[in-house]
Amino acid sequence: MKRTLLVLPLIGLALVAGLVMTSQVLSGGVKADQRALSAANALVDAGHSAEAVQIYDQLVAQGVRDGALFYNLGNAYYQQGDLNRAIASYEQAAKLTPRDPDLRHNLALARSQAKIAPAQPAGILSAVAETSSHWFSVNELALLALGAWFLLGFLLLAYRHFQPGSRPAVLRYAAVVALLCVVVTGVSLASRVTQPSPSIPQPALAQPVGGQA
């Protein structure tokens, strides 16, 4: 038990460092220039997707990580007939704004035009990761994993505070649940971060849902 309690802080530090790095990489800290973003959106609406892509790419190169930006970039690529980049942009947007129904519609539309179905989860944990992608962004999932870890640590310390024989069973069960949450959120986060974008053909297109401001 003592050895476990010595190892837990080291694992906790590694987990916190990993979550912080993941959050920094995926969310970024640069705010989008709203005037440039609005101008690019207007170009997409007017059918000038090539010019819009140049503006969006400049914002991405500046370090902007915004769901609306990647969503509109996906629309611009879709308008050009570049399904590969459209789907990659939609998937990047889905990591940031997973509950957006228009985004989900356009991503499904692009995949159907490419005649490719989403990959089927291989196993229970992969299925959980796929399900979580429809409800939580990567950063939200990272925060859940971090919160579950600290809850687990608190429950273990509280459990150790009691003398053997008088330790409440509810603490033990709660610690098991917290441990499962750490495992599930950690696996889901790793799966989401490392999932590659598919390489697909570019057939004729339908009309996607309009852009976001």
Token readout for 90 is 């939609």
Would you say domain 34-113 falls under CATH 1.25.40.10? yes
- Whether the Cβ atoms of residue 87 and residue 111 lie closer than 8 Å to each other: yes
**pTM of this prediction exceeds 0.85:** no
d(CA 49, CA 42): 10
Residue type, 98: P
pLDDT per 10-residue tile (average), the chain, 213 residues? 54 59 53 84 89 91 87 92 90 86 91 73 63 74 81 80 77 86 78 54 47 61
pLDDT at 173: 87
d(CA 203, CA 112): 10
Token readout for 6 is 């010595």
Give the other-Cβ count within 10 Å of 28's Cβ.
15
d(CA 120, CA 127): 8
Token readout for 190 is 């790793």
